[in-house]
Amino acid sequence: MTNPIAGASARISYGWETVAFGTVSTSINKAFSQGVKVSAYDIDNSVEYIYGLGSQDVSSSICKEFKGTFGLEFALTDPWWIKSIVGGSPSKAGSSPYTYTYSNAAGISNTLTSFSMDLSFDLDTDSHQQLLGCIANTASLTCNVGEIVRVRLDGLFANLSKNTSMAALISPVEEPFCFAQGSLEIPTNTTITDVQSVELTFNRNVDMIWGIGSRFAQKNVAKQREWGIRCTATYEADSQFLDTLLGSTTAASSMPTEAATAQITITNGGATTAERSYTFNFANVRIEKSSIPVSVEDVIKQDITMRARSLSSIIVVNNTNAEL
């Protein structure tokens, strides 16, 4: 007889693949963050059913490509997942706290940004499932008034192996952040007042590559990068967004210009050795859309959609002495 379980009987961790894409990491030692949820874990055998003359029923079936997808949600705490989006390891400076600076890699490496992920389930006979060749495709970071800052990471995996031993429980190190110590600046050093929410989206547009001889993906290709910013703020001055959207203080311009920079900062409110923070720096920001619904019963707010041509850097300050 077997017994059902809940998420409290599951464990998750990950580690970078350094030997080859799809080859299990030799060091699965990282926690994604606190409050992690696996929102999607899907396996598709790409089955094709064959029909033939003489019968209305399927005559045979065949499994084609193995396709895996995952989705993770967690509070913003430990930063190491950022490498899977920007494509490279951070530089480190300072001491207690330390400053980690992530910059976009010129290209995406199959071995530097793929990771193996352990999912263990404490069943009557334990199930330890290793997702291999995991590639983060999209990430979003959401900061809303009255909420903890949250991350969603969605991606693909190339293969899977399993055994019956529970993986080690890996605990996150840093504490969560909330909305109360955040700021949005467009351009940098010009703070937008009374921001209600900010959402950052990162998209790598990844294609998995299959080839003759195996039904498992052998490589991955990241195509165009996309950096999106959405925010909602109380409507207090045309200068905050509307004039930039129009390209003029008096009328719609024939060619509105971009904002040179944008900066989103999230901190714990601490100073000197107590500081913990994330700073996202964007360049060449285009305001695409503005929506300003008006009702006598509500505070007037503006919803803004923007897109940056590049992500200049992500700067993380914490008290961890090495990238985990």
Span 263-290, pLDDT tens digits: 999 999 888 888 899 999 999 999 999 9
For the chain, percent of residues with pLDDT exceeding 90 = 73
Count Cβ atoms within 10 A of the Cβ of residue 271 and give its class: 0-12 exposed, 13-18 middle, 19 or more buried: exposed
Count of beta carbons in the 10 Å neighbourhood of residue 188: 16
| Cα–Cα distance for residue pair 241/289, rounded to 1 Å | 10
pLDDT (tens digit per residue) in 118-132:
999 999 999 999 999
Q: What pLDDT score was predicted for residue 19?
A: 87
Q: What predicted TM-score, i.e. pTM, was given to this entire model?
A: 0.92
Q: Which of 116, 97, 117 is nearest to 173 (CA)?
A: 97
Which residues make Cβ contacts (< 8 Å) with residue 127, sequence separation at least 6?
120, 121, 162, 164
| Cα–Cα distance for residue pair 98/96, rounded to 1 Å | 5
CB 262 within 8 A of CB 282: yes
Pair type for strands 60-63 and 67-75? unpaired
| Cα–Cα distance for residue pair 158/188, rounded to 1 Å | 40
Residue 118 token pair: 């352990």
- The pLDDT of residue 107 is above 60: no
- The pLDDT of residue 109 is above 60: no
For residue 42, give the H/E element and its range.
strand 37-44
| Cα–Cα distance for residue pair 117/229, rounded to 1 Å | 29
| Cα–Cα distance for residue pair 198/185, rounded to 1 Å | 11
Residue 199 token pair: 């959402």
Amino acid at 147: E
| Cα–Cα distance for residue pair 318/113, rounded to 1 Å | 22
